[in-house]
Amino acid sequence: MDYTRLFSHRTKYMRASEIRELLKLAEGKDVISFAGGLPDPQTFPVDDLAKIASYIIETYGTQALQYAPTAGVTLFRKTLASWLDNQGVKVNDNDSIIVTTGSQQGLDLVSRVLLDKRDIVITEKPTYLAAINAFKPSEPRFIGIEIDDDGMKTDELEEILKSMSKEDLSKVKFIYTIPTSQNPGGVTMTMDRRKHLLELAEKYDLLIIEDDPYSHFVFEPIEFQALKTLDKNGRVLYLGTFSKILSPGIRVGFMLGDKNLVSMMEMAKQAVDLHSSTLSQYVALEAIKRGVVDKTMDKARRIYRAKRDVMLEALEEHFKDLGRWTRPVGGMFIFVYLYKDVDTKPLMYKALERGVAYVPGGSFFVDGTGRNTLRLNFSYPSQEQIREGIKRLGEFFSAI
Ligand SMILES: Cc1ncc(COP(=O)(O)O)c(C=O)c1O
């Protein structure tokens, strides 16, 4: 049967993630991959989680294996709220928190609840590819704001907002940002820019989606506060996840914001998956209580700082004449801007033949720019692989 006539209009905007396709090509070959975004499995607290999982099933058996409310297990939501408070993420009286199936589901719910065709979404440029892919089926228009080492250029944002017609301004549904250890850019927004962003949100009556998977294991002593914490008027919807600070496989994320907004997200979620895994929520709850999450964050900080340093050193050695790159204080990615005007997308297949994989940066730009960029992941490969892979990549780009 030819199914194409059956597919809905929105499937036109669904694309296989380039990264996943790339990883498939690299499978089974002697390829050092900087393409994925996987945590180092060394950070997974395997023994602790084995004990916790059997404790949960033995102790909370029937509850942990049962359906749960769409918003999530009540005790977990309460514990999560106080954990976030300890982490410096402010939870207001008017706020509500719901558990999502990874923060990726949060992005999908945002798309479903907030976006209509021709609405405007403002993102950083570059931004997280899977966020673009979550928003696209709703057919919004994207406006990209450049980033530099201090994060989103809020002056540029201000100019754009100033120049927009009243009608267009009313179509801006939200500003999507990853302020801390941005993926893919590897930069962190300064406090001044965070405050400026919130001032603009206030002045132009805008909502901010703060996607924050990385701030809990920043590995340099920098001063920052979440936009959610700085916000006074319910202008920030905060998305978080346990993927990088416990395990991505348990698929536990969350959404925190004004209850009037979050309750609509909860309604949308009901039709998507009824609720996120009850068992996973109990596991995450117990992991917080036993300090396993804190321990995992410490370990991630240590491992990723060392790997980042190895990658920065290797880039210094092999990429000095080829381009410039970001120096992340956290997260998992370094972003490279090549000096030469080359398109890294077709080149990636040739790089694979040389035994190294990266993600071409262009797909992270909502306006089709960024062809001469690439994203490098440093969390997953070993230190030896990072040294060897960057050497291979340097030789490859030097020869072009
Ligand atoms: C910026 C950003 N947002 C969201 C996610 C989704 O994470 P998860 O669904 O595992 O919570 C990721 C994962 O890499 C990410 O980098």
Domains of the chain: 4-45+294-398 (3.90.1150.10), 47-290 (3.40.640.10)
143 versus 349: the higher-pLDDT residue is: 143
Q: Which of ligand 1's atoms lies nearest the C-alpha of 103?
A: 11
CA angle 31, 37, 39 (to 5 degrees): 100
Distance, in Å, from the CA atom of 166 to the CA atom of 285, rounded to the nearest integer, reads 46
- Whether the pTM exceeds 0.85: the reply is yes
Q: Is the CB of 102 under 6 A from ligand 1?
A: yes
The string of pLDDT tens digits covering residues 24-60 is 777 777 899 999 899 999 999 999 999 999 999 999 9
HSE-CB of 235 using CA atoms within 13 angstroms: 23
Q: Which of 80, 128, 187, 380 to mutate to test the pocket of ligand 1 (most atoms within 8 A of CB)?
A: 128
With bands split at pLDDT 50, 70 and 90, how would you rate the model's confidence at 18?
A: low
Residue 26: what pLDDT? 73
Residue 19: what pLDDT? 66
Q: Is the CB of 154 under 6 A from ligand 1?
A: no
Tell me which residue has tokens 């909860």: 266
Length in residues, the chain: 400
Q: Which of 20, 99, 104, 176 to mutate to test the pocket of ligand 1 (most atoms within 8 A of CB)?
A: 104
Q: Is the CB of 248 under 6 A from ligand 1?
A: yes
Distance, in Å, from the CA atom of 101 to the CA atom of 68, rounded to the nearest integer, reads 13
Q: Is the CB of 241 under 6 A from ligand 1?
A: yes
Q: Is the CB of 184 under 6 A from ligand 1?
A: no
Give the tokens for residue 24.
């498939």
Angle between helices 344-353 and 18-26 (to 10 degrees): 20
User: What are the DSSP calls for 291-347, one per residue?
Assistant: THHHHHHHHHHHHHHHHHHHHHHHHHHHSTTTEEE---SSSSEEEEEESS---HHHH
The string of pLDDT tens digits covering residues 272-287 is 999 999 999 999 999 9
HSE-CB of 299 using CA atoms within 13 angstroms: 17
Let me know if 90 is exposed, middle or buried by CB neighbors in 10 A (0-12, 13-18, 19+).
Answer: middle
